Amino acid sequence: MFSRIKRVDNKVLERIACIQKPALNKVMITASRAGNLGLIWWTICLIFIVRPNWRMTGFNFVFGLAIAHLMGEIIIKHLVKRVRPCHRLEDDEQLINRPRFYSFPSGHTTASFSVVGVALLRCGPAAFIGILLLASLIGFSRIYLRVHYLTDVLVGMLLGFVCGLASVLIFNAFFPM
């Protein structure tokens, strides 16, 4: 089964390499950088926190991001220790700097979808859809830039979403809204 997953992961990377174009490269690099250190998500948290009627949602975003970081970056990555696909590429094939740490699950995607999970339960449709689209773009950019496999991103989506939903349940227990 793992060999089949590996074949699918590699096939997806090959297919995506065929669609790479300079203009699309710039979009994907920008999307990926927006997710670096959760920059875009911390900015969104701050925007929510400064607005009194959105403050608790902003703090819930922070809590969801913290749970997702603990689960993905601190625990799972260091248990699985999956090598990134970019380590098989020549330097001139790489569009961004090679990340130093492990591949599985995608930290950018896990963080992004933790915000999606919170937004689903706390925000209106417009905010939720905007956050979902941005999270999806960031996740796809990680495959496009060949720093993650498809399964890294899919598991990151699931893990982040579950962490976001769980953070709302835990948050509600301590701070009923």
- Which of 75-84, 86-95, 122-131 shows the highest mean pLDDT? 122-131
Q: Are 152 and 142 in contact (CB under 8 A)?
A: yes
Enumerate domains of the chain plus CATH numbers: 2-174 (1.10.606.20)
**12-52 tens-digit pLDDT:** 888 988 888 889 889 988 989 898 988 999 999 999 999 99
The confidence score (pLDDT) of residue 108 equals 94
What does pTM read for this prediction?
0.90
Nearest in space to 123 (alpha carbons), one of 37, 54, 32, 38:
54
Q: Is the pLDDT of residue 112 over 90?
A: yes
- The pair of structure tokens assigned to 27 is 């979009």
Q: Is the pLDDT of residue 10 over 70?
A: yes
What's the rounded mean pLDDT across residues 51-77? Answer: 95
The confidence score (pLDDT) of residue 107 equals 93
